[in-house]
Amino acid sequence: MKKVFLALLATTVFVACSKSDDNGGSEEGVSAKHPKKIISTSPYLRVERIFELYDDARPKKESYTHYQADTVSYSSVTEYEYDGKQLVKKRYGDTEVSFFYNKGKLEREVSKSKYNSTPSTTEYQYDGNGRVIKKLTRYRQDNYEEVNYQYSEGNKIIASTERFVENKKIYSSRTYTLDANGNVVKQEYKDYRDYDVVITYEYDNKINPLFSPTFRDLYPDYFTMGVGKNNIIKQTEIRTNPKEPNKVSKVTFRTVYEYNGDYPVRNTYYSVPNEENKPEEKLSVTEYIY
């Protein structure tokens, strides 16, 4: 059940692809068209995402419905407001998020709830190459999260995080390794048990339609999601207890895509067993309708 939920949850994340104009991209590095509907099904769950579009590549409204045993267990509506081609507001539930830019880069977010008079804010800083180097989020009650990004050789990015929650500081770090196309091919960190975690990713060379101009504008630190600019076809997670290095936990998932040109129209998500003689388990099927 947990595997299935994670499979469907993955479809709700804005991730996607980088392609040049000759492959259908009207803007460099983003998808030229956005799905009008995404439907993910499994033996237990069904998730429908229905989009109204602002233009071919940008969503104006998303209606999200989560079904369990043919009963709606959760639903939400998100609306997007633009100034020209730049997203300036996002509304969902009782929350409104405003976005502010400097020279085309997202500089500040302000999130307000009608039930709370104190907004939360997120501020971004960039280096001379336009890469994000700092993200500072201030929540209510003086809590905050600060992430500093350090770029090193070998296309590695180290994200060092400091959280201040309930008068206590919590520190963590993750290292992301990117390929030449900006895909995250490896993610390394320690989990809450102090286990060493290494996640590796493999990709196709097709367009992920959800890497829209809107996604690009909102997520300068997209690599922290553990996904890449193309469609993930294989993901392997290895956890090791430093106190018992011979005991290793390994989990592998595989995704098989069907395409229309450079865009996926269907994918099937499998759990791959570690034992060679055991069959794969189909977890979910996702359809993209344009």
Among the residue ranges 22-26, 61-65, 152-156, 276-280, the one predicted with the least confidence is: 22-26
Among the residue ranges 97-106, 175-184, 221-230, 276-285, the one predicted with the least confidence is: 221-230
pLDDT at 241: 96
pLDDT tens, residue by residue, 210-251:
888 898 889 999 998 765 689 999 999 999 999 999 989 999
* Type of residue found at 206: K
Compute CA distances 29 → 101, 185, 208, whole Å: 19, 18, 11
**Strand duo 232-241 + 196-203: pairing:** antiparallel
pLDDT tens, residue by residue, 35-44:
999 999 999 8
pLDDT band at 2 (very low <50, low <70, confident <90, very high): low
Tell me the average pLDDT of the chain.
90
Domain extents in the chain:
2-289
Closest CA relative to residue 92, chosen from 114, 77, 80: 77
Fold annotation for 2-289: Porin (2.40.160)
pLDDT at 18: 37
- State both tokens at 126: 């960039």
Closest CA relative to residue 141, chosen from 113, 123, 159, 120: 120
Helices (H), the chain: 2-9, 213-218
pLDDT band at 67 (very low <50, low <70, confident <90, very high): very high
Closest CA relative to residue 162, chosen from 179, 149, 178, 176: 149
> What's the rounded Cα separation, in Å, for the pair 191 and 197?
7
> What's the rounded Cα separation, in Å, for the pair 267 and 265?
7
> What's the rounded Cα separation, in Å, for the pair 284 and 63?
20
pLDDT tens, residue by residue, 154-190:
999 999 999 999 899 999 999 999 999 888 999 999 9
Residue % of the chain over a pLDDT of 90: 76
